[in-house]
Structure 1
């Protein structure tokens, strides 16, 4: 039996597209240096063979993320908590949702602000925007690594996030192409009777999960309006605005 839908629950699922205006777009998409480095360094193999370079790369990304600012879309999502139980599920490793004010944020791919122990217990520590140094260890003496998901590793919290989708009355997907599994499968767990929207100016309608409405707009231009409608207790009609 499927779990009951919570009429007061919203799940917001975000990808890199929500941060276009944050100052992070350079290392997400257009900066060739970062794209090339990510392909070469974001793997357990690189950690084993090029550890110093991996640490320096993530120090740079942590510094970039620390300078970035939450966007109007991030801030609007946080306002939903004025009325609703909101769970933000993000593929992003920055902390922009938290800094915007969202209190329940689940990171599928880890967090730049954190490092974890390479030992058996995988203890996680928050280092903020401080750099990590080669040879840093946790209390049990094992070396620390960035707390991010690398190529070939499993995403975090998959079962937990799937349960959130199944119980949400509203689902808002922002800034992701839904092309990379297994994260791309999560929105498909949203219930038929839920109000479900995808905001992405480049989204291919052919890839639309069942019963989702597609809004081909940038997040900053439309998410605040969707949030305003929902806070007023209205459904959103992507063609007409508020229904």
Structure 2
């Protein structure tokens, strides 16, 4: 059974109604990125950070997976599929995907500000003063700027095993996630799906690269059908 790794970014979820990080009217909504998505921002104004993610969490609970998310789950009938996502939403899981690695954390989880190992599901607002099992303030279970990416090594290993890679809805400009394709085997087929693709150094090194200038909701189902027909 061939191994497919799917690497997804904000564009994967945009068609579900979630705002992206880099659009002109995007996720930051007037906030400087470092004020709401960095450990320094938390230390300076935790109430602002909590309110920002509370709004994101509420929005997430009003949307559902799109055709791109749903199509990827069909691949599991014929391929080993691992999804590595930069997204903090749970839309891949809601679509039925069984192997999802969240590089940047999960919006519907919370953890202790002192110990990220103290993590629990969270579908409600988090307020300043809310504490967890260790009696410490809880925060969104998100990898902020200024923090390490603990699952990066696991993600890189998955990429080394891939026969086929999908890169969907990501600018390929945010490191270290953008460097993951460098771990691909030399003969790995890479499909890059994005309405406005940007070919960085990592992608340029791919010997078998096919760029599909289209949205996830349109292009992913077509590509999935193509690969499924190939194994019939």
CA distance in 1 between partners of 2:22 and 2:91 (Å): 14
Number of the residue aligned with 2:92? 97
Is 1:217 the counterpart of 2:214 in the alignment? yes
Judge conservation of contact 1:117–1:138 (CA < 8 Å) in 2.
Answer: yes
Structure 1 residue 30: Cα displacement: 4.2
Is 1:43 the counterpart of 2:43 in the alignment? no
Structure 1 residue 114: Cα displacement: 0.6
Structure 1 residue 28: Cα displacement: 6.2
- Alpha-carbon spacing, 1:161–1:67, altered in 2? closer, same or farther (3 Å): same
- Alpha-carbon spacing, 1:109–1:120, altered in 2? closer, same or farther (3 Å): closer
Counterparts of 1:1-243 in structure 2, within 5 Å, are: 7-25=1-19, 29-31=23-25, 34-37=28-31, 39=33, 40-120=35-115, 122-128=117-123, 130-205=124-199, 207=201, 208-209=203-204, 210-211=206-207, 212-233=209-230
Structure 1: segments with no counterpart, 5+ residues:
1-6, 235-243
Judge conservation of contact 2:172–2:200 (CA < 8 Å) in 1.
Answer: no
Please list every run of at least 4 consecutive aligned residues from structure 1 whose deviation after the TM superposition is greater than 6 angstroms.
Answer: none
Structure 1 residue 157: Cα displacement: 0.5
Number of the residue aligned with 1:3? none
Structure 1 residue 14: Cα displacement: 0.3
TM-score calculated relative to the size of structure 2 = 0.91
Deviates more, 1:196-205 or 1:207-216: 207-216
Structure 1 residue 16: Cα displacement: 0.8
Structure 1 residue 156: Cα displacement: 3.2
Judge conservation of contact 2:7–2:84 (CA < 8 Å) in 1.
Answer: yes
TM-score calculated relative to the size of structure 1 = 0.87
CA distance in 1 between partners of 2:141 and 2:90 (Å): 13
- Alpha-carbon spacing, 1:15–1:33, altered in 2? closer, same or farther (3 Å): closer
CA distance in 1 between partners of 2:45 and 2:11 (Å): 30
Judge conservation of contact 2:106–2:142 (CA < 8 Å) in 1.
Answer: yes
Structure 1 residue 141: Cα displacement: 1.1
Q: How many residues of Structure 1 are paired with residues of Structure 2 in the alignment? A: 227
Structure 2: segments with no counterpart, 5+ residues:
none
CA distance in 1 between partners of 2:110 and 2:99 (Å): 20
Deviates more, 1:147-156 or 1:162-171: 147-156
CA RMSD between the two structures: 1.9
